[in-house]
Amino acid sequence: MQWRPAADLKSMHRRAELVATLRRFFADRTILEVETPLLCRGGITDPAIEPFIVACGESPDQPRFLQTSPEYAMKRLLAALGEPIFQITKAFREGEAGSRHNPEFSLLEWYRPGFDHHQLMAEVADLVRYCLGDRPLQKYSYRRFFQERLQVDPFTAPVAELETIARRHLDPGSLSGDRDLWLDLLMSHVLEPQLGDGAICFIYDYPVTQAALARVVQADDVWVGQRFELYMDGMEMANGYCELTDAQEQRRRFERDNVLRRERGQCERPVDERLLAALAHGLPECSGVALGIDRLLMLATGAADIRNVLAFDWERS
């Protein structure tokens, strides 16, 4: 019966309690709750993520994009206000549906001026414990984790070696690709299921090709993006950055994304000029993170499928 909700009453009560708990956490730390538009003129350029496009109003030739994250608008607020902020909102990603994904999902995102990504990781761990109880903490650099678990340096190993290791663990058929493709396969299919078994596990300092909107710095003999991801019980929970504040570099990254889109036969996406203007005005040195509320609720309730914690999942919406 598709008219009925998938989640039971107990799960709905637990969701309400979890959202109230999240708000108490930020209220205790005097972090301002904000609200930004779900529909914006700009959409994400990342070739790995597709937004929903909505033609609206009297100008269908100027579509709006349902936001995959409130990041761009929140950074505009941060540039204007300079204060720590958080938001609990809906976000949307086309083509992502399954036991851990729903195209429409609930997201918690917050920004901390003056924090580096290690300080923000500590606050993320505090929040998780505040919501779920005590768990041990694990932290690995991306490089160290690959070296320990797969005996390979992800920054310097030849692409052919990464492909060989991937084929040793997986059957990708005739798939071919660059370094990032094989690293992504190894992380998502081989390493991720091992992460955060009963613990709070952070992986940080990613290859620069995976830096997204993170600052890039030199660590030892390689350049890294100051980005982190949180894993718990084999599931990715959060993605955070020590934020890039350079408008020109951000424009170059957007343009590179669109070059990749053209090469892959994907539609180009308009660059968010309002975000770039905010960066040029001056974004404070800060770190930010987005955490999936639905997945946090899965851990809180023991649900194995995201559809069990959503009133109306994609098929019922």
C-alpha to C-alpha distance for 104 and 146, rounded to whole angstroms? 32
| Alpha-helical segments (H) within the chain | 9-28, 71-81, 117-132, 142-150, 159-169, 179-185, 247-263, 273-282, 293-301
Cβ density class 187-200: b for 16+ within 10 Å, e for less: beebbbeebbeeeb
Asked whether residue 34 is assigned to any structural domain, the reply reads yes
pLDDT tens, position by position, for the chain (317 residues)? 689 999 999 999 999 999 999 999 999 999 999 999 999 988 899 988 888 888 666 655 678 899 999 999 999 999 999 999 999 999 999 887 889 999 999 999 999 999 999 999 999 999 999 999 999 999 999 999 999 999 999 999 999 999 999 999 999 898 888 999 999 999 999 999 989 999 999 999 999 999 989 999 998 899 999 999 999 999 999 999 999 999 999 999 999 999 999 998 999 999 999 999 999 999 999 999 999 999 999 999 999 999 999 999 999 98
* CATH assignment of the domain containing 31: 3.30.930.10
Q: Would 187 be classed as within a structural domain?
A: no
The domain total for the chain is 1
Q: Does 113 map to a domain? A: yes
The tokens describing 280, both together, are 């040029």
In a domain, 109, yes or no: yes
- Evaluate whether residue 58 is within a structural domain: yes
User: Residue 98: inside a domain, yes or no?
Assistant: yes
Residue 135 φ/ψ, nearest 5 degrees: -145, 150
Domain that holds residue 278: 9-135+254-309
With respect to residue 174, please indicate whether it lies within any of the assigned structural domains: no
In a domain, 305, yes or no: yes
